Structures are given as structure tokens and as C-alpha cells.
């Protein structure tokens, strides 16, 4: 799915300008919160992370958009656009989305349902598009993951999972990586875990990071919880680099995304919709995008 407009180079880290509501007394936790943001809004999309700001702190998690439109509202729609050097993962909390991409011999197209996952490994260049398939409430997240050098120019491919294909560990849906004995069918490009956690009001959950995962963050889709500070829908928290667990208490029915992983040890060199580890691989990725654009024009799709 393609929910990454406008270009990330215009995004900026924006500190929140609100006082966190005191839903409940914070619970003890040894993992400190380093950053808190509500990002910058672009219509129905909120840019929470980009490679120019928090992506430098959270890499391999280098970009995150939260998108939402109400039932009957004007949903976000995007034309074909390219990527290279990264992978995108889109998770739908509510709504359905039509998708199309240029992977494989004939490309792929279909509809992603509520609870579905789209994984697009852009590699040496790919084009894709997506838009909500109806006018119901739409809510979800799109994440960009930085690739190691061995994968940043690999052949592009995509994987689309229905909700029944996503492994679960208690309230956590394992979208990428392994957690609590459950492994996503999507091959993780590095040591990382990406979860969608669904809690009912008053439920508690503890996240124990896998060994070596010093990067950790949480982005709330909807609801309110303590983690251990009070957070609400639209908030993103960045935790310190430690091996300590994080305890969550849901104040209302809540859905949040959690990323955890080892630090991506490479530089982030950016182009429009592309992130690579070197100037040379960025040039190759941009050339791959141009080659695929020429084919799309010949087919009348661009």
C-alpha cells in the first residue's frame, strides 16, 4: 500500500504541545522514555518518524506514518510512486485498501482487509500504489525498514497477509520477526520485531525485548494506556537503549504498534522515496526506479 506522501524530506520532529492526561498513576518500569511526539500532520496522514529526524535514532525503523479518515470522510488516495533500498510494511487496524505493485513478471493487485499486512521489499526499484477500498473508518500505519547492504539492491518482491495468516502471541500480532515463540511468515531483513498489540480496557501486557534489541518504540493507533507514562492515540514514545521490559496497562480498548530491534549500523543516504547505505547504491536504486518508470509509461500505467 502507498501511504507515504508528501516526501519525507519535508517532515520535522515536532515535540507535543499538550499535557498528557492522567488516566491512571504511572506503573513502575525500569525502561525510561527518551522522546515523545505527535509528529506533523499532512491531511489524513501524520508523519511520526522520518529518516531526517527520529529515523536516525530508531534505525532500522526509519519512517512511520499513522493514517486515519472517518467513515464517510475523504480517504487518502495516491498514484503510482517508487521506492528503492527499503521495505515498507502497512498494517490496517480498520478499513480495507486496494493495492497494486510492479513486483514479479506481471505485478500484483488485490484488496488488503482489516488486520491485513502488506510487505513491499523495494530493493533495486519498485513502483506501487494503494487507496482505501470503501468509505468506512480507515486507520493504520505504514513503516519503512532500512535494508542491510546485501538486500538494498535485491530483486523487489511483495507479500500480502490476511489477518488469519498473522501469528499471535497473546494480544500481540507478530507482523515481522519473532516474539514469544511466534515468527512472522515475512522474512525479517535483520534482527528486529514489529508487533501490533490489541488490548481491551483494563488489560495488562508486558513486553520483554529479545536479546540484543536496544532500539524500542511504541506508536498508539487508538485508545489510551500507560507505558508507564499516560499515552493516547497519535502518540509515539521512544524508549532508552536497555534490556529492561516495558509494562502496559490499557485505560480503554487500545491498539498500538511496537518496534524493537538491533541498531542498523549503516548511514542513511536519502533520495525521493529511497533510502540506501551509500551514494553508489543510491544511484543504482534511482536508476532502477527510472527503468521501471519507462516500462510503466509503455504500458500506459504512469
Helix, strand, or coil (residue 50): coil
Helix (H) or strand (E) holding 84: none
CB contact set of 55 (below 8 Å; sequence gap of 6+): 49, 61, 62, 63, 144, 268
Is 101 domain-assigned?
Answer: yes
Is 276 domain-assigned?
Answer: yes
CB contact set of 202 (below 8 Å; sequence gap of 6+): 249, 250, 251
Is 203 domain-assigned?
Answer: yes
Is 160 domain-assigned?
Answer: yes
- Which strand ranges, in their side-by-side order, compose the sheet holding 40-42? 40-42, 45-49, 61-69, 138-146, 86-94, 117-121, 157-161
Is 153 domain-assigned?
Answer: yes
CB contact set of 139 (below 8 Å; sequence gap of 6+): 66, 67, 68, 92, 93, 94, 95, 221, 222
Phi, psi of 180 (to 5 degrees): 50, 45
Q: How many domains does the chain have?
A: 1
Give the domain CATH number at 91. 2.60.120.10
Pairwise CA distance, residues 252 & 23, whole Å:
10
- Dihedral over alpha carbons 127, 291, 289, 277 (to 10 degrees): 140
Phi, psi of 10 (to 5 degrees): -90, -5
Question: pLDDT tens per residue, the chain (302 residues)?
Answer: 444 433 433 333 333 333 334 444 444 447 899 999 999 998 889 999 999 999 999 999 999 999 998 887 776 666 789 999 999 999 999 999 889 999 988 888 999 999 999 999 999 999 998 877 777 899 999 999 999 999 999 999 999 999 999 999 999 999 999 999 999 999 999 999 999 999 999 999 999 999 999 999 999 999 999 998 999 999 999 999 998 999 999 999 999 999 999 999 999 999 989 999 999 999 999 999 999 999 888 888 88
- Domain coverage including residue 261: 29-298
Is 65 domain-assigned?
Answer: yes
Is 166 domain-assigned?
Answer: yes
Is 128 domain-assigned?
Answer: yes
Amino acid at each position: 500500500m502507498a501511504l507515504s506522501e508528501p516526501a519525507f524530506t519535508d517532515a520535522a520532529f515536532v515535540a507535543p504541545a499538550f499535557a498528557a492526561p492522567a488516566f491512571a498513576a504511572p506503573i513502575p518500569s525500569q525502561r525510561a522514555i527518551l522522546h515523545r511526539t505527535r509528529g506533523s500532520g499532512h491531511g489524513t496522514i501524520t508523519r511520526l518518524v522520518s529518516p531526517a529526524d527520529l529515523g536516525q535514532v530508531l534505525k532500522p525503523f526509519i519512517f512511520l506514518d499513522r493514517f486515519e479518515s472517518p467513515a464517510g470522510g475523504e480517504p487518502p488516495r495516491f498514484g503510482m510512486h517508487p521506492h528503492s533500498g527499503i521495505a515498507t510494511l502497512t498494517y490496517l487496524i480498520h478499513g480495507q485498501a486496494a493495492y497494486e505493485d510492479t513486483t514479479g513478471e506481471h505485478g500484483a493487485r488485490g484488496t488488503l482487509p482489516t488486520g491485513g499486512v502488506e510487505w513491499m521489499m523495494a530493493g533495486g526499484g519498485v513502483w506501487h500504489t494503494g487507496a482505501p477500498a470503501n468509505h468506512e473508518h480507515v486507520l493504520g500505519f505504514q513503516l519503512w525498514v532500512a535494508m542491510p547492504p546485501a538486500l538494498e539492491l535485491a530483486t523487489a518482491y511483495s507479500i500480502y497477509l490476511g489477518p488469519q495468516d498473522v501469528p499471535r502471541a497473546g494480544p500481540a500480532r507478530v507482523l515481522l520477526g519473532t516474539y514469544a515463540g511466534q515468527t512472522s511468515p515475512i522474512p525479517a531483513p535483520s534482527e528486529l520485531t514489529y508487533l501490533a498489540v490489541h488490548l481491551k480496557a483494563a488489560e495488562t501486557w508486558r513486553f520483554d525485548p529479545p536479546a540484543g534489541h536496544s532500539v524500542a518504540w511504541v506508536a498508539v493507533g487508538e485508545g489510551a494506556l500507560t507505558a508507564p507514562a499516560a499515552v493516547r492515540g497519535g502518540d509515539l514514545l521512544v524508549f532508552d537503549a536497555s534490556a529492561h521490559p516495558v509494562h502496559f496497562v490499557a485505560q480503554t480498548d487500545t491498539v498500538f504498534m511496537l518496534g524493537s530491534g538491533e541498531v542498523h549500523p549503516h548511514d542513511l543516504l536519502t533520495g525521493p522515496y529511497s533510502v540506501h547505505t551509500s551514494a553508489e547504491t543510491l544511484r543504482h536504486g534511482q536508476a532502477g526506479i527510472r527503468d521501471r518508470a519507462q516500462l510503466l509509461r509503455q504500458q500506459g500505467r504512469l
